[in-house]
Structure 1
């Protein structure tokens, strides 16, 4: 005879799985009634009459009952066996369970006070050693040399400083050529800065995010001058460039990397010290806000030295928040937000051009009113500020999850 089939993983955890584990008993099938025909025994004795039930007391009906699993943790262990075998510690299992929808309330039904306690039991019961160790996301300093990624993080600032010097010493068409060369140099230096260290992407990156970032930096260099020329009826020839904000943004890449490193490091420490998902989230949200505020203060100081622009400050917050999300596994959300901001800037320029058509003057009214009140840079400030606030609100929720700080 064939033995019982080996247990297999029934799929992702869901509410139906939880309901099955909570069930204490289930009826196996229908119970025979008293009017069923009874076959004669093989011993030769006559079968009881059909109306024997009327003469004898009714026998107690025994229902076939199938009890629920005596060890529900074992079923959960089989369901997430690969996660438990890959994990290098119980924290990774807790993060993986959280990502699959297991909460502290669910863990209580497994006779555990929280997900961390449940993860410790799973880690103790599942054998390890068949998988290579997984690295924490967000550039844990224990897995990357600080000297290497610090030098790569300084590369964008060096390229921008050389470009700013070239723009200062040239005029006319050569100046425009230097600006284009600087943008191309940043296109090479920025990927170098984010491929290593705490700003590197976790998981599969989104290639389009690089294009959106380059557009935003290019607009910070010459977008306000182009918009001002379009509003004035031009541009006539080359429009003015503003290298100061771009220089500050490039120099801020290194401080951004260090802020991301500190955030990842302290988040991992809090994850190890927390005893519940709520406790971890409560301590991580202020940590994220302090990280963003510290980088904003550094960027504001750099902008004060190179030429302060509120739009560049909003852009810096947007880029840092987007990179933090990318470094912790939320690259698509960050890329979609950057794409939306780029689309808004292109739309602002397009409406001013479209207003030159007969009868289309009203198309440029919102942009013109904003520029007349606060200057051409107000468009960048408004668009990037709205994107940064929305992305920061999302990051406050996403990066306060334990699964955002470990590879599962």
Structure 2
């Protein structure tokens, strides 16, 4: 970056006011600028380098406006998208795909099933144990699951900056815990309980844990295809038009893999929380996908809203038992009696997942969202 701001690349020259196309000029005002700075654009690893180089050559936001862009960075994004880089020209597409697949198999792919395996071992041990040994095994298995999930996510295409994921992890942990035991607790609370413990849903835990496998592969597919579309697109508008259907197709593919995982585990362990777990799985995958591409704040806000809504519903039911507060818990109790306890997580997580999908369709269509992938 410092080289770009201090030295002028070969073949490039400062942009003079006479060289800037004005209204009524050519249909493609960026084309001349793209040819003048082609070497800079081909060598750049992201639009930031192009923006810095343009500013070093005298291109300001006012100049970018005359190229029909709002600022220098927007202009740099289009240049980055339209000029093929040197790394995009090395090798053919099949060879690049083979290299990416080999790197995935040798890197993160073997770790993807680990959370599901740990979860199955925990459920099996908890079912076989009795007395005080059972909660100890559950606690140990939960810690092992967190460690396995961390290993799988940090090595794969869903890795995100640690400093950006604390809120995401806390809210995701609560949502997972609610998926495993929240429905039964809510149903017991509406009936006046719980009187002691309440049943957990092992199918929800194992189904979501094994969904890490399709989640990682779908994120890898989206990242690879988005980079290829970025290289082959002739402008930002064309890239956005290609990337949004790609995101929707990838999300649908993950939804299919998630449904298969949940169905197989419900056949093995029983359970009736398919809708709620499907909505939660989509929510967690979209949140992690956004965090991996640098939009952890949006993911954290939506996850916090979903977790807060589920917690508020539980608190409302228990608060409704206090004198004079019976109306507080009545809406939740009525909804549970009419549609079942599973309707709450399905509605909350489904609405949150749709919000994140809309956000992802907007921000992941930008070229800058894929510069570090």
Q: Which band: TM-score by shorter chain?
A: 0.7 to 0.9
In structure 1, distance between residues paired with 2:49 and 2:241? 16
Deviation, 1:256, is 0.5
Residue 357 of structure 1 is matched in structure 2 by: 322
Can you list the C-alpha shifts for 1:350-382, whole angstroms capped at 9, x where unaligned? 001100001211111221122112211111111
- Aligned-partner SS, 1:195: helix
2:231 to 262, 265, 272: 272
Q: Distance in 1 between matches of 2:247 and 2:82?
A: 31
Answering whether residue 298 of structure 2 is matched by residue 333 of structure 1, we say yes
3-state SS, counterpart of residue 389 of structure 1: helix
* Structure 1 ranges of 4+ moved more than 6 A: 84-88, 120-124
TM-score (normalised: structure 2): 0.75
SS of equivalent residue, structure 2 residue 246? helix
The 8 Å contact of residues 141 and 261 in structure 1, kept in 2 or not, is answered as: no
Bigger radius of gyration:
1
Q: How does 1:147-296 map to 2 (within 5 A)?
A: 147-170=106-129, 174-201=133-160, 204-296=163-255
Give the deviation of 1:203 after TM superposition: 8.2
| Contact 1:314–1:381 (8 Å) recurs in 2 | yes
Q: 1:257 to 1:234 in 2, by over 3 A?
A: same
Q: Is the 8 A contact 1:91 1:272 kept in 2?
A: no
Where do 5+ consecutive residues of structure 2 fail to align? 7-13, 22-37, 70-74, 86-98, 267-271
Q: Which has the larger share of helix?
A: 2
Please state if 1:313 is matched with 2:272.
Answer: no
Task: Please identify, of 174-183 and 250-259, the stretch whose mean Cα deviation from structure 2 is larger.
Answer: 174-183
C-alpha contact 1:115 1:276 (8 A) present in aligned 2: no
Distance in 2, matches of 1:86 and 1:234, equals: 68
Distance in 1, matches of 2:171 and 2:104, equals 29
Match of 1:93 in 2: 47
Kept in 1, the 8 Å contact 2:116–2:209? The answer is yes
Q: What SS does structure 1 have at the residue aligned with 2:241? A: helix
Offset at residue 116 of structure 1 (A)? 6.5
Alpha carbons 1:229, 1:235 under 8 Å: kept: yes
CA contact (8 A) 1:334 1:391 kept: yes
Mean alpha-carbon deviation: is it higher for 183-192 or for 141-150?
141-150
**Structure 1 residue 293: Cα displacement:** 0.7
Distance 1:202 1:266 in 2: 22
1:355 and 1:115, CA in 2 relative to 1: closer, same or farther beyond 3 A? same
Report the equivalent of 2:258: 299
> Is the 8 Å Cα contact of residues 122 and 141 (structure 2) preserved in structure 1?
yes
2:305 and 2:298 mapped to 1: Cα distance? 11
Cα distance in 2 between the residues matched to 1:279 and 1:362? 54
Identify the match of residue 395 of structure 1 among 345, 360, 366. Answer: 360
**Within 2, Cα distance between the matches of 1:199 and 1:86?**
31
Deviation at 1:147, TM superposition (A): 2.6
**Cα root mean square deviation, aligned:** 3.8
Which residue of structure 2 aligns with residue 383 of structure 1? 348
Do the aligned partners of residues 208 and 107 (structure 1) sit closer, same or farther apart at CA in structure 2, a change above 3 Å counting?
same
**How many residues get paired?**
318
Secondary structure of the structure 2 residue equivalent to 1:198? coil
String of CA shifts for 1:98-129, please: whole Å, max 9, x gaps.
xx998xx847359xxx86774499999xxxxx
CA contact (8 A) 1:318 1:384 kept: yes
Per-residue deviation at 1:178? 3.3
